[in-house]
């Protein structure tokens, strides 16, 4: 299976206008962030993935991928990785067929065990803030020490450094450096500034 992008921060991007996709990834890259998850939450999402992937400034993934058929759509649009809110073996298998890296969401030890049995090395822990955050990740990492986690949900500038300092956290997912309101306003200078500030919080 393909590998996830080697980026400590993977922004969750919701784009209402595909025309903003290239400027968005340019702002992220200028701030030092080299991966982005564009969520399938708007009618323009697939076109945004296509434009951002074609630009090549960052590694482009597709988020909120729930159905196996969506995997084909985002793969055809140029996405290189897939993020799901939950664990779906058919989605995982379809990503393997299409050569995409996959980051399924887990919330319980049972789902983590499914992911391990499916041969995955990294999972999304979602919604992290509602599930106990870093303390729960540490508890899950004890029996599943070979697995890495990407917390999503409630991750912010206030806790990103603490998350990334844990040896079982591969990266974090969040939207604070590129919130939907800034993208609607096309305030890409603010996205670049917030991205740079976020990267400065990454433990060295």
User: Which amino acids are annotated catalytic?
Assistant: 37, 124
78, 98 in Cβ contact below 8 A?
no
Kindly state the tokens that stand for 160: 């990103």
Give 86-128 as a DSSP string. S--HHHHHHHHHHT-EEE-EE-SHHHHHHHHHTT-SEEEETTG
How far is the C-alpha of 84 from the C-alpha of 97, rounded, in Å?
A: 16
Strands in the chain per DSSP E: 9-13, 35-39, 59-63, 81-83, 101-103, 105-106, 122-125, 148-151, 172-174
Residues ≥6 apart with Cβ < 8 Å to 89? 114, 118
Kindly state the tokens that stand for 168: 């079982």
Residue 59: what are its φ and ψ, rounded to 5°?
-75, 125
How far is the C-alpha of 53 from the C-alpha of 66, rounded, in Å?
A: 20
């Amino acid at each position: 299976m393909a590998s996830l992008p080697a980026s400590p921060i993977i922004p969750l991007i919701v784009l209402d206008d595909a025309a903003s996709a290239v400027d968005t990834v340019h702002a992220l890259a200028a701030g030092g962030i080299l991966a982005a998850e564009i969520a399938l939450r708007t009618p323009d999402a697939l076109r945004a993935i296509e434009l951002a992937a074609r630009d090549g400034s960052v590694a482009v993934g597709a988020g909120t991928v729930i159905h196996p058929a969506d995997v084909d759509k985002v793969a055809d649009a140029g996405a290189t990785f897939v993020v799901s809110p939950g664990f779906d073996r058919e989605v995982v298998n379809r990503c393997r067929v299409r050569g995409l890296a996959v980051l399924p969401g887990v919330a319980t030890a049972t789902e983590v065990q499914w992911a391990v049995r499916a041969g995955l090395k990294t999972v999304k822990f979602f919604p992290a803030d509602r599930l106990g955050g870093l303390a729960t990740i540490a508890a899950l990492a004890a029996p599943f020490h070979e697995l890495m986690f990407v917390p999503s949900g409630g991750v912010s500038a206030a806790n990103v450094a603490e998350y990334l300092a844990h040896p079982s956290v591969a990266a974090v997912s969040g939207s604070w450096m590129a919130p939907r309101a800034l993208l609607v306003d096309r305030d890409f200078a603010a996205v670049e500034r917030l991205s740079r500030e976020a990267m400065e919080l990454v433990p060295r």
